[in-house]
Structure 1
Amino acid sequence: MVNENEKTSIIIPTYNRAELLKKAVVSLLSQTHQNIEIIIVDDCSTDNTSEVVSRMTDPRILYIKHQTNKGGASARNTGIAHATGEYVGFLDSDDQWLPEKLEKQLQVFRRDPEIGVVYTGLRVTSESGVLREMIPVFRGKILSKLLQFNCIDTTSSIIVKKELLDKIGGFDAAFPSCQDWDLYLRLAQITRFDFVQEPLVLFFQHSGERITSNKKAVQQGHIFIYEKYRDLACRQEDEVYRKFVINITKIILRTGIMNQDKKAVKLSRKLYSEGIKGHNVDFKNKLIYFSTFINLKVLLFLYVQSKKSSRNYYSFSDFISLEKNSA
């Protein structure tokens, strides 16, 4: 049983998503655990968001509007500053929670007081239906896993003890992307993680803007992660450091190919050569370095064609996809 006295503050950062916001809020009001407050932080929307929220009469809803657009990380930090719950959750305004999500996460916290973060799986959907499901794998001290790749994904899945968010200072608003990954990496240095092994978040793919659709922001965010955590990754086992460097290199290379950005491709070559210096790398991954010398138009052709291909062999898009591992 979950203690009904356990209050959770759920923060929804939003910007020009009035219609999607309504569905996100309904999914929270439908939670089986009802001791919640919903903090909507409007990051200076220019649509009718304020009008839509004014029609929401539930007293547990708090609406805060930024006077200037500050970005998602700052909006979440505003929400954290106003949160009064023992726990804090986040819900992007274009996502939804399934009804039992919060209750099941609070049950995990009650089983083990040492747990500071509980996350769930997610179901990626679109207008055409369910595209895929992502199920959690890693629990406990997961810093080494998180250094290799963001194994948690969206902040819409996590519930965190408020005291831990206060301790680390919330989100780093200087990051143009990867703010979630950076938050997890800082939390993983001071607490243990656990999960509910069910897809309890509906993550919607749509034509609207997400940070992940901004290739330049994605590129810069991964550069920030590399610069901030390279020394920490280097102190881990060699395999952890190798995947940390190679995965970031692949993302920068991929965005460079898609944007036909020579500087990004050269940067991926530089980070790779500097990061792997003195470390053992297999021949397949050495090919990453050599691919950065290939003509950009040829690389784009190879990438697009391999993404279209349904044949069951190793393609160029596989070659620059992230290296992950199992538990």
Structure 2
Amino acid sequence: MSNPKVSFVVPCYKLAGFLPTCINSILRQSYTDFEILIMDDCSPDNTGEVAQSFSDPRIRYIRNDPNLGHLRNYNRGIELSRGAYIWLISADDYLRSNRVLQRYVERLDRSPEVGYVFCTGYGVRDGIETDLLGQLQGRGDRDRVLSGKTLLKKLLSGNFVLTPSGMVRRECYEKVSKFPLDMPWCGDWYLWCLFALHYDVGYFAEPMVCYRQQHSLSMTEKLTGERLEACASEEIRVPWTIREHALRLGRQDVARLCIAALADTYARTLADQRYLSAGSNVNFERMENSLQQQAITDLERDCIRARVYATVGNKCYWRHDVTAARHFYRLALAKAPWRLSVLIKLLLISLGRPGHYVRRSILSAR
């Protein structure tokens, strides 16, 4: 029996109630040369019963015993799959369009330089579609093939690729990397970046998948709730690790992108963890420890510090904490006196309400 063109890997742990929607959305695809691997990670619910209720011969039910954890389960599914293209989609997510697989296959067949494809999608809460997610910034309203560097420039500062929307060429997993076991929170983001370092990427503007948000069994909800600080540490590791890969490949251009992205990542994780009070220095000390451990120049460290302080200053300003904003802008200028934009923001703060009006006017005009 010949191998299918596409393998759907469907990890499932205590998601039996969502599984039929996911599987049926795959079975409805207009393109039919695929297999489905339901990867039951030793679920205590009736996942096995639900999986075996499907009579389609393209479905394979695999149960781990004992539980492997989500990353090992992903990797095992990838290893057991047979398709040239691999689509990993959690059992609580589903395909919104019946033609998405056809479009994906056509793109990858036509473009051997493309390592993976992804699309926008809708969030789903309580069965209702909510926000549009995963839209590419800048011409995100049309389909396109992006160079890996172009996507990396956008992606390094934060993940916007919906995990259930990505179909990957098998050789990406075989030649580049599978899911790193030490990145339970950011493993997908890391792989999207790493694959883009080696391949171009296809993007589809139409929202063709659905991503369930904020339910009690969601892996994302579990990780963010239990390990917020560890998640932030992982987010910071991603640009550093991509930079190391880029340097090994001689990609100085990408390494420079990583330096710029690191500042945004440090600032975002500091803000997300509510560490923005001007008198709380503990997390900036962690940032300093992290910077000292990396093989970069003092100038690069000061550039990162300046961008972090300026970004945190912006966040404080728009939260109406002008005192803290002024504090961080001054710190930014101390590290990078040539940052004209920061100097202008300080001057506008000194003008009081007229300065605030000017700043809002500039922002709204963009």
**TM-score tier (shorter):** 0.7 to 0.9
In structure 2, which of residues 205, 225, 247 is the aligned counterpart of residue 197 of structure 1? 205
The residue number in structure 1 matching 2:130 is 131
Q: CA deviation at 1:151?
A: 3.5
CA contact (8 A) 2:14 2:217 kept: no
2:37 alignment partner, SS class: strand
What displacement does 1:174 show? 1.7
* Shift in CA distance, 237/103, structure 1 to aligned 2, threshold 3 Å: closer
CA spacing shift, 1:269–1:53, aligned 2, 3 Å: same
- Does residue 277 of structure 1 match 2:301? yes
Could you tell me which amino acid in structure 2 is paired with residue 199 of structure 1?
P
Aligned residues: 287
In 2, Cα distance between equivalents of 1:241 and 1:144: 8
TM-score (norm 1): 0.76
Conserved in 1, the CA contact under 8 Å of 2:25 and 2:94? yes
Q: Within 2, Cα distance between the matches of 1:121 and 1:267?
A: 38
CA distance in structure 2 between the aligned counterparts of 1:8 and 1:146, rounded to whole angstroms: 26
| Aligned equivalents of 2:315, 2:132: Cα separation in 1 | 32
- Structure 2 residue corresponding to 1:177, chosen from 180, 185, 189: 185
SS across alignment from 1:132? strand
Q: Which one-letter code corresponds to 2:65 in the other structure?
A: Q
Displacement of 1:185: 1.9
Contact 2:4 2:82 in 1 (8 A): no
Distance 2:282 2:63 in 1: 36
- Once residues 43 and 269 of structure 1 are traced to their aligned partners in structure 2, the CA distance between those partners, rounded to angstroms, is 36
Counterparts of residues 124-163 of structure 1 (less than 5 Å): 124-127=123-126, 129-134=128-133, 135-136=135-136, 137=140, 139-141=146-148, 142-152=151-161, 154-163=162-171
Maintained 8 Å contact 1:139/1:193:
yes
Q: Structure 1's 157 and 290: CA in aligned 2 closer, same or farther, altered over 3 A?
A: closer
Change (3 A) 1:8 1:237: closer
What is the CA deviation profile of residues 153-174 of structure 1, one whole-angstrom value per residue up to 9, with x for unaligned ones?
x221111111221112311122
C-alpha contact 1:252 1:265 (8 A) present in aligned 2: no
Q: How does 1:224-235 map to 2 (within 5 A)?
A: 224-231=237-244, 235=252
Structure 1: 5+ residue runs without aligned partners? 292-297, 299-327
Cα separation, 1, equivalents of 2:273 and 2:129? 29
Return the offset for 1:271.
Answer: 6.4
Q: 1:196 to 1:51 in 2, by over 3 A?
A: same
Larger Rg: 2
**Which position in structure 2 is the counterpart of 1:168?**
176
Q: Answer with 34-43 or 247-256: which moved more.
A: 247-256
Structure 2 unaligned runs (5+)? 295-299, 318-323, 325-366
Per the normalisation by structure 2, the TM-score is 0.68
1:125-177 Cα distance to aligned partner (Å, 9 max, x none): 2127322113344722233333232242x221111111221112311122121
Structure number having the greater helix percentage: 2
Q: 2:231 is matched with which residue?
A: 218
- Whichever residue aligns with residue 82 of structure 1, its letter is L
CA distance in 1, matches of 2:281, 2:51: 44
AA aligned to 2:191 is L
Q: Does 1:20 align with 2:18?
A: yes
> Does the aligned pair in 1 maintain the 2:242–2:258 contact within 8 Å?
no
Distance in 2 of aligned mates of 1:220 and 1:210: 21
Aligned partners of 1:255 and 1:264 also within 8 Å: no
More relative contact order, 1 or 2 (CA 8 Å, 6+ apart)? 1
Further displaced range: 66-75 or 239-248 = 239-248
* AA partner of residue 146 (structure 1): L
